[in-house]
Amino acid sequence: MKLSIGFRCAEKSDIPFLLTLRKATMTAHLKSAGYHFTDSNHLDRINEYFSDSHIILNNQEPIGLIKLGVLAERLHIRQFQISPSFHGMGIGSFVLDVVKKKANELKLPITLFVLLDNPAKSLYLRHGFYVEEQLEKEYKMRLDIKNEAVNG
């Protein structure tokens, strides 16, 4: 399958896709962490900071979400999900490279939280993130941008 990755701002009409995506990518990790989310809980998370939401596209079809907060002191990845059928294809790395370019332009570090048992942690570590703090159910991770060349 040829990949052609792009982005667009999320719209309210994307909410059914985002709910399906979130349940497919997060339910097992949330249960493992002791959370029991209902559809209403998932919708609350989808709607929180909705204006920061960007749909990840492959050949113009939605396959994921990156919710990126641009704050005064950092870029914060609020949510990052890719449809399981697109895992292992390098899309996560591509998206992180785009975020790293943005952080480099803004001269800001990148932060995120990832649940303790979420295998996405290894993706972040491969991209230079480090664990800043281990909390009860998640890691607080950070990537300091050193104004270097970024792939992509």
Domain boundaries, the chain: 5-143
pLDDT, residue 148, reads 53
Residues 6+ away with beta carbon under 8 Å from 142: 109, 110, 111, 129, 130, 132
**If we measure between CA atoms, which residue out of 73, 81, 107, 91 comes closest to residue 19?**
81
Which structure tokens are listed for 53? 């939401």
- Tens digits of residue pLDDT in 6-59: 999 999 999 999 999 999 999 888 888 888 889 999 999 999 999 999 999 999
CATH superfamily of domain region 5-143: Gcn5-related N-acetyltransferase (GNAT) (3.40.630.30)
Task: For residue 147, name the pLDDT band (cuts at 50, 70, 90).
Answer: low
Q: Where are the beta strands (DSSP E) in 89-136?
A: 110-115, 130-134
pLDDT, residue 75, reads 97
pLDDT, residue 28, reads 87
- Tens digits of residue pLDDT in 80-120: 999 999 999 999 999 999 999 999 999 999 999 999 989 99
3-state secondary structure of 5: strand
pTM above 0.75, yes or no: yes
pLDDT, residue 79, reads 96
